[in-house]
Amino acid sequence: MDAEAFVVVAADSDQARSAMKAYFSELDERFVDGFDVDGAFDDDAGIFDPPAGSFVIVLDGERVVGCGGVQRHDDHTGEIKRMWVDASMRGRGLGRRLLTRLEGETRTLGYSSVVLDTNAVLAQAISMYESAGYVAIERYNDNPYAHHWFRKAL
């Protein structure tokens, strides 16, 4: 049985901001040209707020080991953003369970499909999305860090 707990929180909560800070720091290290950590926090203001969005953290005991959010893309489509699992927790299926939870949040918000984007260096994430039924689509946003865009009907 998995010990991790999935908890919906406000995206501006201390736990959510701590998880996103760890995620953004990892992106800054992994992306060829780095990542604008401060700008990302500015971009996130209010996008995960109900009733159009939701933000989930993953707890291992009291330690935050993952996160992800859903925001409105259009009237019928949610967008998964800020999906991250701590490196110490990878390889245990937690990413897949988090993706499934975020898809559930997307359905609960009333969306019938979901989109997401990702960077080419995140090969494991791309593989997970494809194996979860996501299909490659044309660019749908102006995210300067994205190289791949995906959609899934829910």
Domains: count for the chain: 1
Range of the domain at 39: 5-112
Between the ranges 26-35, 43-52, 69-78, where is the mean pLDDT highest? Answer: 69-78
In a domain? residue 90? yes
**Portion of the chain with pLDDT greater than 70, in percent:** 93
In a domain, 94, yes or no: yes
Task: Give the residue with greater pLDDT, 73 vs 33.
Answer: 73
CATH classification at residue 105:
3.40.630.30
- Confidence check: pLDDT of 63 > 50: yes
Higher pLDDT, 22 or 28: 22
Q: Is 140 part of any domain?
A: no
Is residue 132 situated within a structural domain?
no
Quick: pLDDT tens for 87-110.
999 999 999 999 999 999 999 999
In a domain, 34, yes or no: yes
Residue 65 and residue 59 in contact, taking contact as beta carbons nearer than 8 Å: yes
**Residue 124 included in any domain:** no
Domain annotation covers residue 47: yes
Lowest mean pLDDT among 40-44, 64-68, 119-123, 130-134: 40-44
